[in-house]
Chain A
Amino acid sequence: MERPLTKHITIGGDPLNLAEYEKVGGYEACRKSLRTLTPDNILQLVKDSNLRGRGGAGFPTGLKWSSMPSSQNSPRPRYLIADADEMEPGAFKDRILMEGNPHQLIEGLIICAYTVDTEIGYIFIRSEYTLAAERIRKAIGEAYEKGYLGFNIFGSGFNFELRLHVSSGRYICGEGTALANSIEGNRAVPRHKVPRQTESGLWGMPTLLNNVETLCNIPHIINNGSIWFKNLSKCKDGGTKIFGVSGKVKKPGAWELPMGTTIREILEEHAGGMLDGLKFRGTLPGGASTDFLVEQHLDVPMDYDSVQKAGSRFGTGTMIVLDDHTCPVGMVHNLESFFARESCGWCTPCREGLPWTAKVLKAIEDGKGEPGDIEILEFHIRALGPGRTFCALAPGAMEPLRSALKFFREDFDAHIKEKRCPWS
């Protein structure tokens, strides 16, 4: 099985420096793109590869790139942003890519920048990712030294500046428009999506934002073609995916596997199954802001459409597993406290509703639940749903709660009835 993304990554070891990266074929795709391919060629290749965004929404990458306005008469500069603000609880896939092979990301960025004609790039990295930041900074330095960044890259006449922006640490910065506000030095609150960032993004200029993992795929598509890329996958979405598993499994971790690998295979073969004595109860398949899937869904292939059909979201593809000895109310409370803390405070339902949700869950967990609390939670699930709030944070936060009430309702009722947590 091919593992293009992680092939040159040694967990716990040092990443490849520029020379080593080039020795294993690094920057070949970049050289080829800038010297021999037109932006249209590359765009077509990316479109044909069926690569979908790895940040969570799964938007087709080629389509996103082609939504950048034409270079002619465009306001300048145009920006490219790598969203490396990996703050979704349970997700650590981008960290592996950045710590393990920073040049792969830089190469992807240069090709992307060339394709969509942007002259300035930002890597917006999560503040806790200090090691990744250090390695990227070093890699950017090497790339500049070698002339792979800056002016006239590979003699192609194409210029691209790349900067690393270390976040001050807020979950909402992973939201693309809040991220742009943050870079500008404004409060990290999301922006309205009309017009799109590709029209008016960072500093009001055309801006393209991609997830780190998405960008890391680009050099491999250039090198090996779109058919090869599609064939990596078990489903119609192209490529491999770094799947992660956390929770009480034998071997928590992350693995690069074909897109469309089933949950069962990931859990049992790669994560080694549940710890002895524990049974699987459910999983948040795409990170904290996705709906629980349970036993009956174990054979669902992990790809965007299949997970959605099963009633959840593919998200970042990094699962959090719930076992039968952990209180689901406690788990959901933990998640909602996180989301309540990370609300930016811009819109009412999210700012006020999430803390209320967390407080109700805490009360239930502490044995202070009251009749009517479930109705209050259900009210929040409606009031914090899509369209009601300004951005997707609160609707995402409601997903684990909604599905917990669906699958684990008896646990909530037991807490309220017995006035204690049955697991404590």
Chain B
Amino acid sequence: MATIFIDNAPYQVQDGQNLLSACLSLGFNIPYFCWHPAMHAVGACRMCAVKQFRDENDARGSIVMSCMTPAADGTRISIDDNDVREFRAGVIEFLMLNHPHDCPVCDEGGECHLQDMTVMSGHVYRRYRFKKRTYLNQNLGPFINHEMNRCIQCYRCVRFYRDYAGGRDFNVFGIHDRIYFGRCSDGTLENEFSGNLVEVCPTGVFTDKTLRKHYTRKWDMQTAPSICPHCGLGCNIIVGERYGSVRRILNRYNHEVNGYFLCDRGRFGYEFVNGDCRVRQPLVRHTSKSLDVSSLEPIEKKEVLQYLAKMMTSSERVIGLGSPRATLEANFSLRSLVGPENFYVGMSEPELKMVLQIIEILSNGPAYSPSLRDVEQCDAVLILGEDVTNIAPRLALSLRQSVRQKPMEIAERLKIPRWADAAVRQAVQSERGPLFILSPMATKLDDIATKTLLAPPDDIARLGFQIAHEINPEAQPVLDLSENLRELAVSIAAALKQASLPLVVSGTSCGSVPVINAAANVAWALCTQGKKTGLCYTVPECNSLGLGLMGGLNIRDCFEKIMTGSAGTLIILENDLYRRAEAQTIEAVLQKCKNVVVIDHILSRTAREADVVLPSGTFTETTGSLVNSEGRCQRQFRVIPPTGEVQEGHHWLLDIMTSIGRSDVNQISSLESVGELMAKEFPIFKPLVEIAPRADFREFGQKIPRQPHRYSGRTAMLADISVHEPKPPDDPESPLSFSMEGYQGIPPAPLIQRFWTPGWNSCQAVNKFQSEIDGPLVGGDPGRRLIGLLNGNELVFFSEIPQTYEPRDGEWLVVSISNIFGSEELSSLAPAISERVPEPYVGLNPEDANSLGKKDGEKLLLSINGISKSLPVRVITSLQPGIIALPIGLSGLEGIALPAWGKVLENRNG
């Protein structure tokens, strides 16, 4: 700790930080622009000036930038000194010379850091009487709007895009007072994290183009804390709503999870919620006997429940199929409805096998499951089989930071504090810590990798096993490994052993349990060497791990039971079977079932074939809990009150139970009772009821309002329907209210519905919610890790080593390839994202394409397990010969578990 004096009063602050973050941590307001808690200080904007005094006798002092000055013991500063106030007001005056006076029509207005800092600085009257500078804007693609005239040249955008996120197609151009931030020419920003420019930019240069389509001011948006549903990482988000439609997603700071940043899939994927793909009322199949066609027709809620009651009571048995994209509560409610013996986890056999294996490894092994924050601290990384950027994008951004850890030695040797970002980067130059990537194809992190190896899954696993053996000889060696690969294993092992916080990343993308096991072997071998080792697995969906923890049988087991037993009712919860099983099989199963009920929010292919469809809520309409790939259980709160017939999945299940007169319905009548019941049945879910304040939580006797106190039009919004102001909808299941009335102060962290405090209208207000700058949220970060370390178990390395990949004559090893835009089910339905989704393709190595006589774009007829499909060829140079890559979510062959062996049906020579 250091003691610093601010306007002559002593304060205790953490060592090693700069004055700006020290003062902000203490609650002082110092305006700033170029400094960012994650990107640190460069001293460009000169906004955070304070006056520094040599000692108590120094009355003159000198102006310094607080971001560039260490908060060393004994530092004396003044924030309020007249000179420095004049200077700070002057900086704003400078920034305002060319800034358009378009706040009333600016997208950023009302949540603009520049507005806030202008007010804070005290600058009021304009003295500049000359013409303003103007720029041409660029079309930056479907996500980001560009309005350069508003730019105040803080350089945050370019520092985020290039330095932090590794983007290349965006830069700063020009000189003197004609600085330009953009691309060389118009075009879509390619980086997967471009959306963060919206929050990084302190004013309205980069704004959310999707918000623009249905624009609403921040103060007019009803917001609630939520969890991103578009991958397994569980990034914390804030959903904004007005007039029943979702307007945008903002980052919700969680020190341990996503920090300040989201990926573009998470930020812009929300649009599907408002789209035509939704089911908004119950549907029932009507069959016209005369025409021999059937169609799904709308039906009243009351009627459909009666219909379902009849259906259920007349069925010999009811089978439930859960979903890794539905909440724990919805899955458990389904399980309660059908009984544990009839409940099936909605995952395919290989998928569930991998998820269960991951849970087993993380629960019983000595390696810890790192949060994204932990990942950023790691100083040597081995990735086995994952193209992280396309699978769990936000993790890739963290990995980009982890390769900066080891070279920090250079900065430390030169005594450069970490917050001096430019000096650190200049000293470190292009030095990077060890990052090894073993993958079937090139990945988006290859540019920062020490070494990459392109290999099919089994060979990735083999190299992993050998690396583990090189670290700890007790781990099984791979005896028939080539000399080259053995040497590579030795060098990777050496780099990992040298690290102080090594990390192994793997996951389900390879479809290979041996790869998962090999990753565990490496991490465990490092643990045996006394290293605190992180083991990070990606999982396919937002609740894959949660569903895995609940356990059960897979889809194939479910199908077998249906096909062998008597016909019954099948209830499918938020799950499109066609993404998980082969179409022919599904069709047979659905045929066999007497009744198929689908509860979902989108009209998936499965839903279209159901007898009854019940409209459930999307993540924006659902309160519930999810478990992310780290094993962290987090709560999401609905932001949209129930409208029409849409209701949360678990409410439909509750209604069904009520309608059939189940006596145990009270046990699951509320979210909390579901949680308690789950905790009883599965002790691992004990923390579930504690991850967020209970529904009866009140702050000074009040609920936490979803609407800001400035929310406008409350009495007018629905006046075209009725002039009587409706009563706000109840929300008995959460401490949040659908109202602007309630406690407007800082709520407990899991309930943070927006970042706002007086004077801080922009997302920069997050600093008032942190216990210290860049630290945990006040009261602790939301979420609880369910998977802990069980020490004391005897460590047994995996020893089943697969055979090396041998190309087969006339057959092709088909592996999956992921696309950040396109491979995930829900986000692909969002219009902005869909503009970025590539056309369907099949990936081929150039030699193979040549030998098949195929050029880019020419069709290839591929057959796997007897199912064939013609797809245009995309030549992918990084693929190994004999391997074909099939893009998840794009090929139409999702039901086939990969890797698999396939055939090319067309004549090789055309």
Which A residues lie at the B interface, using CB under 8 A? 75, 170, 187, 191-192, 194-195, 199-200, 203-204, 340-349, 351-356, 359, 363, 370, 372, 376, 379, 382-383, 387-390
By beta carbon, the residue of chain B nearest A180 is: B426
Q: Are A349 and B423 in contact (CB under 8 A)?
A: no
Q: Are A359 and B177 in contact (CB under 8 A)?
A: no
With contacts A170-B175, A344-B176, A346-B44 taken as known, whether A359 is within 8 angstroms of B130 at the C-beta atoms is yes
CA of A192 to CA of B40, assembled, Å: 14
- From residue B423, how far is it (CB to closest CB) to chain A in Å? 5
With contacts A340-B176, A352-B97 taken as known, whether A195 is within 8 angstroms of B43 at the C-beta atoms is no
With contacts A341-B176, A348-B94 taken as known, whether A195 is within 8 angstroms of B45 at the C-beta atoms is no
Q: Are B153 and A194 in contact (CB under 8 A)?
A: no
> Which of B296-304, B412-420, B720-728, B741-749 faces chain A?
B412-420
In the complex, chain A residues whose CB is within 8 Å of the CB of B42: 192
B47 interfacial contact with A, CB 8 Å: yes
In the complex, chain A residues whose CB is within 8 Å of the CB of B90: 349, 379, 382-383
Q: Which of A363, A379, A382, A388 contacts B46 (CB 8 A)?
A: A388
Q: Which of A204, A370, A383 contacts B87 (CB 8 A)?
A: A383
Q: Provide a sorted-by-A list of 13 A–B residue pairs whose CB atoms are within 8 angstroms.
A: A194-B420, A203-B429, A204-B410, A341-B176, A345-B174, A345-B175, A345-B176, A347-B46, A348-B91, A352-B98, A363-B130, A383-B90, A389-B46
CA of A203 to CA of B410, assembled, Å: 12
Q: Report B26-49 CB contacts with A as 1/0, cut-off 8 Å.
A: 000000000000000011111101
In the complex, chain B residues whose CB is within 8 Å of the CB of A75: 410
By beta carbon, the residue of chain A nearest B45 is: A348
CA of A351 to CA of B86, assembled, Å: 18
In the complex, chain A residues whose CB is within 8 Å of the CB of B174: 345
B179 interfacial contact with A, CB 8 Å: yes
In the complex, chain B residues whose CB is within 8 Å of the CB of A191: 422-423, 426
Q: Report B2-19 CB contacts with A as 1/0, cut-off 8 Å.
A: 000000000000000000
Taking each of B46, B87, B91, B422, which has the highest tally of chain A beta carbons within 10 Å of its own beta carbon? B46
CA of A383 to CA of B90, assembled, Å: 7
Q: Are B153 and A356 in contact (CB under 8 A)?
A: no
In the complex, chain A residues whose CB is within 8 Å of the CB of B127: 372, 376
B428 interfacial contact with A, CB 8 Å: yes
Q: Which of A192, A352, A376, A388 contacts B49 (CB 8 A)?
A: A388
B68 interfacial contact with A, CB 8 Å: yes
In the complex, chain A residues whose CB is within 8 Å of the CB of B43: 192, 347, 390
By beta carbon, the residue of chain A nearest B51 is: A387
Taking each of A342, A348, A356, which has the highest tally of chain B beta carbons within 10 Å of its own beta carbon? A348
In the complex, chain A residues whose CB is within 8 Å of the CB of B427: 195, 200, 204
In the complex, chain A residues whose CB is within 8 Å of the CB of B129: 370
With contacts A203-B429, A348-B45 taken as known, whether A195 is within 8 angstroms of B176 at the C-beta atoms is no
Q: Are A351 and B429 in contact (CB under 8 A)?
A: no
Taking each of B91, B174, B178, which has the highest tally of chain A beta carbons within 10 Å of its own beta carbon? B91
Q: Are A351 and B62 in contact (CB under 8 A)?
A: no
Q: Are A387 and B177 in contact (CB under 8 A)?
A: no
In the complex, chain A residues whose CB is within 8 Å of the CB of B44: 346-348, 390
Q: Are B47 and A348 in contact (CB under 8 A)?
A: yes
Within 8 A of A (CB), among B382-432: 410, 414-416, 420, 422-423, 426-429
With contacts A348-B44, A348-B45 taken as known, whether A192 is within 8 angstroms of B130 at the C-beta atoms is no
Taking each of A200, A342, A343, which has the highest tally of chain B beta carbons within 10 Å of its own beta carbon? A200
B309 interfacial contact with A, CB 8 Å: no
Q: Which of B94, B426, B428 contacts A349 (CB 8 A)?
A: B94
In the complex, chain A residues whose CB is within 8 Å of the CB of B422: 191-192
By beta carbon, the residue of chain B nearest A346 is: B44
In the complex, chain A residues whose CB is within 8 Å of the CB of B155: 346
Taking each of A347, A354, A363, A370, which has the highest tally of chain B beta carbons within 10 Å of its own beta carbon? A347
Q: Report B81-117 CB contacts with A as 1/0, cut-off 8 Å.
A: 0000011001100110110000000000000000000
Q: Are A194 and B87 in contact (CB under 8 A)?
A: no
In the complex, chain B residues whose CB is within 8 Å of the CB of A349: 46, 90-91, 94
Q: Are B46 and A356 in contact (CB under 8 A)?
A: no
In the complex, chain B residues whose CB is within 8 Å of the CB of A356: 94, 97, 128, 130
Q: Are A387 and B414 in contact (CB under 8 A)?
A: no
Q: A351-B177, A356-B94 are in contact. List 12 more A-B contacts (CB 8 A).
A: A75-B410, A170-B175, A187-B172, A195-B427, A204-B426, A342-B176, A343-B175, A345-B176, A352-B95, A354-B176, A359-B130, A389-B46
In the complex, chain A residues whose CB is within 8 Å of the CB of B172: 187
- From residue A72, how far is it (CB to closest CB) to chain B in Å? 14
B64 interfacial contact with A, CB 8 Å: yes
In the complex, chain A residues whose CB is within 8 Å of the CB of B46: 347-349, 388-390
B63 interfacial contact with A, CB 8 Å: yes
Q: Report B154-174 CB contacts with A as 1/0, cut-off 8 Å.
A: 010000000000000000101
In the complex, chain B residues whose CB is within 8 Å of the CB of A348: 44-47, 91, 94-95, 152-153
With contacts A199-B414, A382-B87 taken as known, whether A352 is within 8 angstroms of B94 at the C-beta atoms is yes
In the complex, chain A residues whose CB is within 8 Å of the CB of B415: 195
CA of A363 to CA of B45, assembled, Å: 27
Query: Would you list the 9 A-B pairs with minimal beta carbon distance, nearest first?
Result: A352-B94, A200-B427, A383-B90, A345-B179, A343-B176, A204-B429, A204-B427, A359-B130, A387-B63
Q: Are B95 and A195 in contact (CB under 8 A)?
A: no
In the complex, chain B residues whose CB is within 8 Å of the CB of A389: 46
CA of A346 to CA of B428, assembled, Å: 21
CA of A392 to CA of B43, assembled, Å: 14
- From residue B652, how far is it (CB to closest CB) to chain A in Å? 57
With contacts A342-B176, A343-B176, A359-B130 taken as known, whether A192 is within 8 angstroms of B91 at the C-beta atoms is no
CA of A376 to CA of B428, assembled, Å: 42
Within 8 A of A (CB), among B40-85: 42-47, 49, 62-64, 68
Q: Are B94 and A340 in contact (CB under 8 A)?
A: no
Q: Which of B87, B175, B177 contacts A352 (CB 8 A)?
A: B177
Taking each of B98, B175, B179, B414, which has the highest tally of chain A beta carbons within 10 Å of its own beta carbon? B175
Q: Are B175 and A192 in contact (CB under 8 A)?
A: no
In the complex, chain B residues whose CB is within 8 Å of the CB of A376: 127
With contacts A356-B130, A382-B86 taken as known, whether A200 is within 8 angstroms of B91 at the C-beta atoms is no
CA of A382 to CA of B46, assembled, Å: 14
In the complex, chain A residues whose CB is within 8 Å of the CB of B130: 356, 359, 363
In the complex, chain A residues whose CB is within 8 Å of the CB of B179: 345, 351
CA of A204 to CA of B426, assembled, Å: 5
Within 8 A of A (CB), among B448-503: none
Q: Are B68 and A192 in contact (CB under 8 A)?
A: yes
Taking each of A75, A351, A370, which has the highest tally of chain B beta carbons within 10 Å of its own beta carbon? A351
CA of A344 to CA of B44, assembled, Å: 11
CA of A387 to CA of B86, assembled, Å: 14
Q: Are B423 and A351 in contact (CB under 8 A)?
A: no
CA of A347 to CA of B176, assembled, Å: 10
CA of A341 to CA of B427, assembled, Å: 30
CA of A352 to CA of B422, assembled, Å: 22
Q: Which of A203, A345, A370 contacts B177 (CB 8 A)?
A: A345
- From residue A351, how far is it (CB to closest CB) to chain B in Å? 5
CA of A255 to CA of B495, assembled, Å: 61
CA of A344 to CA of B87, assembled, Å: 21
CA of A344 to CA of B415, assembled, Å: 28
By beta carbon, the residue of chain A nearest B47 is: A348
In the complex, chain B residues whose CB is within 8 Å of the CB of A192: 42-43, 68, 420, 422-423
Q: Are A195 and B416 in contact (CB under 8 A)?
A: yes
In the complex, chain A residues whose CB is within 8 Å of the CB of B91: 348-349, 383
CA of A195 to CA of B176, assembled, Å: 26
- From residue A305, how far is it (CB to closest CB) to chain B in Å? 22
CA of A251 to CA of B277, assembled, Å: 85
In the complex, chain A residues whose CB is within 8 Å of the CB of B97: 352, 356
CA of A168 to CA of B43, assembled, Å: 25
CA of A311 to CA of B815, assembled, Å: 76
Q: Are A387 and B94 in contact (CB under 8 A)?
A: no
Q: Report B622-663 CB contacts with A as 1/0, cut-off 8 Å.
A: 000000000000000000000000000000000000000000
CA of A173 to CA of B490, assembled, Å: 46
